[in-house]
Amino acid sequence: MDNVDKNILEILEQDARTKPDEIAKLTGISGEEIQEKIKRFEQAGIIRKYKTIVDWDVAGEDYVYAIIELKVTLQRRQGYQVIAERLYKFDEVRSVRLISGDHDISLTVRGKSMKQVAFFVAEKIATLENIQSTSTHFVLKTYKEDGVILSETEQVKRLPITP
């Protein structure tokens, strides 16, 4: 990956709405070239998706997040991939990760209430064949999400003119 590619990705990572013409101004190559490059990033899966980070607490929406850790039993001709596929197809499941340590897989699950999440885990996840045990942690507050701090950000306190 060259410097220009890295620049384009950094700009879009900061603000996915930045238009190709503007990226062109910031990187010194033409808008058409930027468009082509972005298309290639999308096709290659380097850019997966454009999304908005919403602070649902501020929006006043009631929801519950939980982190669920799973222990799984692997079966013949069935690796983690097969289990992950079964898990990530649920809409309630927001992320699926294979992890090291005491557990094998970590999920984040989102629901409207603790009851709903608890039922979902009990009925849909814990009952899957390969799942040995589950351990559910409800999230009380999110301070940082995907690199974005969700509380007040610090201001740089600079003097307006300095040498």
Residues that bind other proteins (CB under 8 A): 3, 6-7, 10-11, 25-28, 154, 156, 158-163
Instruction: Name which of 26 and 54 has its Cβ closer to other proteins.
Output: 26
Among candidates 124, 135, 126, 123, which has minimal Cα distance to 99?
135
Instruction: Name which of 10 and 61 has its Cβ closer to other proteins.
Output: 10
- Minimum Å gap between C-beta 85 and other proteins is 34
Instruction: Name which of 4 and 98 has its Cβ closer to other proteins.
Output: 4
- Minimum Å gap between C-beta 117 and other proteins is 33
Instruction: Name which of 25 and 40 has its Cβ closer to other proteins.
Output: 25
Question: Count of alpha carbons within 13 Å of 113, Cβ hemisphere only?
Answer: 3
- Minimum Å gap between C-beta 162 and other proteins is 5
| DSSP-derived secondary structure for 16-70 | TT--HHHHHHHHTS-HHHHHHHHHHHHHTTSS--------HHHHT---EEEEEEE
- Vertex 58, ends 53 and 60: CA angle to 5°? 115
- Minimum Å gap between C-beta 161 and other proteins is 4
